[in-house]
């Protein structure tokens, strides 16, 4: 990797930009940015550009020279008479004469790296050299706050132009990595690199190099993918970070250590231990990030620094810092994320955790989708396999990580050891929160398999009866649940929230999305009483249920409300990504494609739990959207790297969806063999049951296999898909299947499409209703209007299909303006989709000679003039025009200008 050529970063400051800034400034430039952001690289570009026309002196300041007067100027002062060193004025006079003599009339530039380490004596002299015009300055500095007073005043007085190098945004980081690696990189790998490095180019380069050398970043199916999910850094990066940490003051280092070990912490708690000046300095240098939401919190900008600090801090110091921090933080500021982080910190430094603390933190970790940490916390408890609460958290985490068999074994072992100890009779003392939590965990494991989904639903119904106090004497739960419960209101609230989410997921898995919607609507009536994480997770499930049952407009409105919560620092990165992926798919299935495409990515700056791969659902939703729009090329650009990564690890069970979508995109591009290859390698289906993913997989499989060459077979399969959703009340999915079937030629289904669309709301439902009406009325004008509406809504494939149907019936169409509009729509959508033309259309393409004649005719030349110009007979010209009119499906000469424009576009 070290031999790779790393290209100039696109969109960044270039050598030309620096030369321009240097020419326009009064005395030079100051280049600032974090270590590794490219300051030295840009300085090298600049000096290379000006070296032939200028006298350049390179000076390097360092922390070791700050105690020596004029230390940064040693390179120049050693050539001067020692008597000049007795006074700053003499130093200035001597250096002015020396530089003027050596420059021989050329402009002088002093290049000073690490200008923050220039001592005050040297700073005063350098400042005066710049002010009196003796030398221009090219300075670099990681932290402008560390510049000496004289150099700082050069900036404030307008002598220096400041160029600040910001961290790379994710898209630029991906482009830069791909340009050097020479191939596509998966979203999971890109996110891991970008989050770990904080967008720092130097760290990105080192990370990529170390992972390629270790084999953790490898090529699979032509795509660079991560083959391991451990934190990506090795010894070279560790040495670099440790060296740079050694330059910090003790107060700054302590603040960094606390935030690295505790995660996002309340600013008030940090300031109880660290000095405000140290925290301010770290914030100004871009190391710490202060969130201004209330209460104010502090986090690290760069995850890589966190990981290195956590791995290298001595255990004793870590334990002491944790004790001091826990004493400083007020109980009211102990939000769930902080409790989880403090528990993880305790595991790392060996501080004791009580069983109650460990299990409470494990429950919070599971709720925040940090399942690996939940397992570590549970398994730190001695004898955890004998505790119902511990077994509940352990089996929940295992099931969420896909280790369903192991989760079943854990539950079975506990029951055998307890001798049925959790089987409580219908009468007796109230159930404990631990017992109910155990039964919720059993339900979570049962819902991992469609064969046991009904058992999971039954288990949840009995938990509901216990919490509501509705268990009757004759009721017998599968595990003998009792009436009532103990554990206090907080325990009951947490259980109710977990129960609602579990009930909604089971109902969704069984296809009963109307039931799921009712449950979630009731739970979210008191929206503000719930924490942001529950609101986000429950709200995303509600959006999904509304979208699938035809309440598309409400789904879109709810999504907008939830997205603000997605940026809440109290929402974990894993939970935010899960919910955001579900929201994007919900908007997609609701037909709100513009809203789905414009969704912001959640928590780009937050790390996922160690050992968990980057969730693919958010990016997959965008790729699926492009395929639904008919933009196969764009869909495949995203799907190919996604599939490469999913073949390595697919915790979400999305490989089947991705390969089916890729097969459909390949079919649209006229590549049946590639489509068949994707279908042949398609996994049998989602690892976890769920109607949306199952439906999308089935939909794309139908269209990929038969949609191009066997439309009748495809429409039959789509009608069966619609029948299943009609029976389940999933009218949002039903209308999608019906709309595609009618566009494939199943016009007899138009009445049902109209009826179903009228049961739904939102723009897409309105589009389908208008289309059904147009088909039933056999009204071409209405069909063209529908095609235009679909194009306006970015439903390119829908618009293209309807417009093409109008064009195919052009022989019976008297209104040529409608035909022209249909052609315009079809060609606009074809361009956006980059769709190949039918072979029948290929046969009708005009020849080069016909194009030449048509062009002249379109410009107003008469047949006689064209004949004379091209040395043809008039009859030959007339014959060519007859052929041209037929191929372009026009009847009048006046239609040539527009039709010819389309033909020329197709010729290219």
Instruction: Using the 3D structure, point to which of 183, 206, 232 is the last residue of a domain.
Output: 232
Nearest to 786 by CA among 703, 224, 801: 801
**Between 780 and 238, residue with greater pLDDT:** 780
| Number of other CB atoms surrounding residue 221 within 10 Å | 14
| Residues 115, 215 share a domain | no
Does residue 835 lie in a domain region?
no
What is the span of the domain harbouring residue 874?
844-900
pTM of the model: 0.74
Say how far apart CA 567 and CA 26 lie, in whole Å: 43
Shared-domain flag, residues 267 and 375: yes
- 35: tokens are 């270590």
- Do residues 339 and 361 both lie within one domain? yes
Count CB-CB contacts under 10 A for residue 105: 6
Distances in Å between the alpha carbon of 756 and those of 117, 481, 692, 694? Answer: 72, 42, 18, 21
User: What are the residue ranges of helices labelled H in 567-690?
Assistant: 573-589, 593-597, 617-628, 632-646, 655-668, 672-680
pLDDT of residue 728: 85
Highest mean pLDDT among 479-483, 584-588, 832-836: 584-588
Q: 736 in a domain, yes or no? A: no
750 pLDDT tier (thresholds 50, 70, 90): very high
Does the residue 670 lie in any domain?
no
Report the distance separating Cα 895 and Cα 123, nearest Å.
76
Per DSSP bridges, beta strands 55-60 and 160-165 are unpaired
490 belongs to a structural domain:
no
Regarding whether 246 and 223 lie in a shared domain, the answer is no
DSSP symbol at 219: E
Beta bridge partners of 108: 55
Residues 313 and 405 both lie in one domain: yes
pLDDT band of residue 840 (cuts 50, 70, 90) is very low
Lowest mean pLDDT among 364-378, 663-677, 802-816: 802-816
Residue 649 resides in a domain: no
Percentage of residues in the chain having pLDDT higher than 90 = 26
Q: Where are the beta strands (DSSP E) in 36-97?
A: 55-60
Query: pLDDT grade, residue 781 (50/70/90)?
Result: very high
Rounded CA-CA distance 21/867 in Å is: 61
Residues 6+ apart with CB under 8 A from 180: 4, 5, 6, 7, 205, 208
90/592 Cα distance (integer angstroms) = 74
Per-residue pLDDT at 684:
56
448-501 per-position pLDDT tens digit: 887 888 889 888 988 888 888 765 444 444 443 333 444 456 778 888 888 999
Q: What is the pLDDT of residues 643-669, one digit of tens each?
A: 988 888 887 888 999 999 999 999 998
| Residue 886 CB coordination number (10 Å) | 12
Among 119-123, 514-518, 776-780, 845-849, the range scoring the smallest mean pLDDT is 845-849
SS3 of 222-281: CEEEECCCCCCCCHHHHHHHHHHHCCCCHHHHHHHHHHHHHCCEEHHHHHCCCCHHHHHH
Please state, for a pLDDT cut of 70, what percent of the chain lies above it: 86
> What's the length of the chain?
908
Tell me, what CATH number does 90's domain have? 3.40.50.300
pLDDT score of 448: 81
How crowded is residue 868: how many other Cβ atoms within 10 Å of its Cβ? 13
Same domain, 287 and 328: yes
Q: How many CB atoms lie within 10 A of CB 420?
A: 10
Task: Please state, rounded to an integer, the average pLDDT across all residues of the chain.
Answer: 82
Q: List the CATH number of the domain containing 851.
A: 1.10.10.10
pLDDT top residue among 52 and 433 = 52
Residue 426 in domain:
no
Predicted confidence band at 172 (pLDDT cuts at 50, 70, 90)?
confident
Secondary structure element (H or E) that encloses residue 136, with its range:
strand 136-141
Does residue 271 share a domain with residue 210?
Answer: no
Please report, for residues 284, 617, 642, 648, the alpha-carbon distance to residue 654 in angstroms, rounded to integers and kept in the order given.
42, 7, 10, 12
SS3 297: strand
Q: Which of 232, 251, 280 is the last residue of a domain?
A: 232
Q: Tell me, yes or no, whether 191 and 247 share the same domain.
A: no
Tokens of 728: 């389940």
Can you tell me the mean pLDDT for 503-525? 89
- Residue 239: Cβ within 10 Å count: 11
Question: Looking at the predicted structure, is the pLDDT value of residue 50 above 70?
Answer: yes
| pLDDT value of position 429 | 37
- pLDDT: which is higher, 796 or 60: 796
Same domain, 192 and 251: no
Residue found under tokens 């070296």 = 51
157 and 195 in a common domain: no
Neighbour-count burial for 293-321, b at 16+ CB within 10 Å, e otherwise: eeeebbbbbbbbbbbbbbeebeeeebbeb
pLDDT surpassing 60 at residue 603: no
- What is the SS3 assignment for 348-374? HHCCCCCHHHHHHHHHHHHHCCCHHHH
Q: Are residues 119 and 192 in the same domain?
A: no
Within-domain flag for 630: no
Q: Which of 189, 215, 232 is the last residue of a domain?
A: 232
Residue 684 lies in a domain: no
Whole-angstrom distance, CA of residue 664 vs CA of residue 625? 12
pLDDT band at 903 (very low <50, low <70, confident <90, very high): very low
**Burial level of 840, CB count in 10 A (0-12/13-18/19+)?**
exposed
Grouping H, G, I as helix, E, B as strand and the rest as coil, residue 163 is strand
Q: Domain check: are 246 and 227 in the same one? A: no
Lowest mean pLDDT among 23-32, 256-265, 569-578: 569-578
Per the structure, how many domains does the chain have? 4
Question: Which pair of structure tokens corresponds to residue 780?
Answer: 């071409």
For residues 662 and 283, give the distance between their C-alpha atoms in angstroms, rounded to a whole number: 45
- Taking residues 625-632, report their average pLDDT: 92
CA–CA separation, 906 and 908 (whole Å): 5
């Amino acid at each position: 990797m070290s031999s790779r050529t790393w290209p100039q970063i696109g969109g960044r400051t270039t050598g030309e930009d620096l030369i321009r800034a240097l020419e326009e400034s009064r005395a030079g430039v100051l280049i600032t940015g974090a270590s590794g952001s490219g300051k030295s690289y840009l300085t090298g570009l600049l000096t290379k550009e000006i070296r032939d026309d200028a006298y350049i002196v390179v000076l390097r300041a360092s922390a070791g020279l700050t105690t020596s007067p004029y230390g940064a100027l040693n390179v120049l002062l050693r050539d001067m008479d020692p008597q000049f060193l007795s006074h700053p004025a003499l130093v200035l006079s001597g250096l002015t004469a020396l530089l003027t003599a050596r420059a021989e009339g050329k402009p002088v530039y002093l290049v000073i790296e690490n200008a923050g380490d220039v001592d005050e004596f040297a700073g005063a002299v350098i400042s005066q050299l710049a002010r009196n015009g003796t030398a221009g300055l090219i300075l670099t500095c990681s932290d402008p706050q560390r510049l000496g007073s004289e150099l700082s005043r050069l900036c404030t007085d307008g002598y220096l132009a400041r160029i600040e190098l910001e961290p790379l945004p994710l898209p630029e980081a991906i482009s830069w990595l791909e340009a050097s690696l020479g191939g596509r990189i998966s979203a999971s790998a890109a996110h891991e690199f970008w989050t770990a490095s904080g967008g720092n180019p130097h760290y990105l380069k080192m990370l990529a190099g170390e992972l390629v050398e270790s084999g953790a970043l490898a090529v699979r199916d032509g795509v660079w993918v991560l083959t391991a999910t451990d934190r990506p850094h090795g010894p070279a990066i560790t040495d670099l970070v440790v060296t740079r940490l050694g330059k910090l003051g003790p107060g700054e280092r302590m603040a960094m250590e606390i935030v690295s070990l505790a995660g996002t912490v309340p600013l008030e708690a940090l300031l109880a231990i660290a000095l405000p000046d140290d925290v301010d300095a770290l914030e100004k240098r871009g190391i710490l990030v202060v969130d201004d939401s209330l209460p104010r919190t502090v986090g690290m900008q760069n995850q890589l620094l966190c990981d290195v600090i956590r791995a290298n801090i001595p255990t004793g110091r870590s334990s002491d810092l944790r004790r001091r921090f826990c004493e400083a933080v007020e109980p009211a500021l102990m939000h769930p994320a902080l409790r989880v982080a403090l528990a993880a910190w305790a595991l790392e430094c060996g501080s004791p955790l009580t069983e109650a603390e460990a299990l409470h933190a494990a429950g919070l970790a599971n709720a925040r989708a940090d399942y690996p940490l939940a397992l570590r916390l549970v398994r730190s408890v001695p004898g955890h396999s004998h505790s119902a609460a511990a077994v509940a958290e352990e089996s929940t985490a295992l099931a969420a990580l896909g280790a369903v068999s192991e989760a079943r074994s854990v539950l079975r072992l506990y029951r055998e050891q307890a001798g049925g100890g959790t089987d409580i009779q219908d009468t007796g003392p109230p159930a404990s929160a631990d017992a109910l939590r155990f039964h919720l965990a059993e339900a979570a494991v049962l819902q991992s398999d469609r064969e046991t989904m009904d058992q999971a639903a039954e288990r949840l119904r009995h938990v509901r009866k216990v919490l509501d106090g509705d268990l009757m004497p004759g009721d017998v739960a599968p595990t003998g649940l009792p009436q009532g419960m103990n554990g206090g209101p907080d325990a009951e609230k947490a259980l109710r929230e977990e129960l609602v989410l579990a009930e909604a997921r089971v109902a969704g898995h069984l296809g009963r999305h109307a039931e799921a919607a009712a449950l979630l609507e009731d739970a979210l009536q008191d929206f503000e009483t719930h924490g942001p994480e529950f609101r986000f997770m429950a709200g995303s499930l509600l959006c999904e249920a509304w979208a699938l049952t035809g309440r598309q407009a409400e789904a879109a409105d709810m999504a907008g409300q939830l997205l603000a919560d997605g940026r809440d620092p109290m929402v974990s990165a894993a939970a935010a990504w899960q919910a955001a992926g579900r929201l994007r798919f919900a908007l997609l299935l609701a037909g709100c494609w513009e809203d789905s495409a414009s969704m912001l990515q959640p928590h780009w700056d937050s790390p996922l739990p160690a050992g968990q791969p980057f969730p693919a659902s958010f990016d997959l939703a965008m790729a699926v959207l492009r395929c639904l729009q008919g933009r196969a090329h764009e869909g495949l650009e995203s799907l190919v790297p996604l599939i490469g990564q999913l073949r390595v690890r697919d915790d979400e069970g999305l490989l089947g969806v991705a390969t089916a979508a890729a097969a459909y995109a390949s079919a649209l591009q006229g590549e049946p063999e590639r489509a068949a290859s994707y279908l042949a390698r398609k996994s049998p289906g989602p690892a976890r049951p769920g109607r949306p993913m199952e439906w999308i997989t089935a939909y794309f499989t139908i269209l990929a296999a038969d949609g191009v060459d066997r439309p009748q077979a495809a429409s039959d399969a789509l009608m069966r898909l619609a029948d299943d959703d009609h029976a389940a009340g999933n009218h949002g999915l039903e209308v999608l299947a019906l709309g595609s079937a009618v566009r494939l030629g199943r016009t007899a289904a138009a009445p049902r499409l109209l009826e179903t669309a009228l049961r739904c709301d939102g723009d897409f439902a309105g589009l389908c209703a208008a289309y059904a009406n147009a088909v039933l009325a056999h009204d071409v004008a209405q069909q063209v209007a529908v095609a235009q509406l679909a194009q306006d809504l970015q439903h390119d494939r829908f618009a293209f299909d309807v417009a093409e149907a109008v064009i195919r019936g052009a022989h019976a169409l008297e209104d040529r303006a409608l035909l022209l509009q249909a052609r315009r729509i079809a060609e606009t959508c074809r361009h956006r989709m980059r769709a190949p033309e039918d072979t029948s259309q290929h046969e009708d393409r005009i020849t080069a000679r016909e194009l030449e004649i048509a062009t002249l005719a379109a410009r107003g030349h008469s047949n006689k003039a064209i004949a004379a110009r091209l040395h043809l007979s008039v009859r030959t010209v007339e014959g060519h025009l007859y052929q041209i009119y037929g191929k372009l499906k026009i009847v009048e000469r006046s239609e040539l200008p527009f039709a010819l424009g389309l033909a020329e576009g197709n010729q290219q």
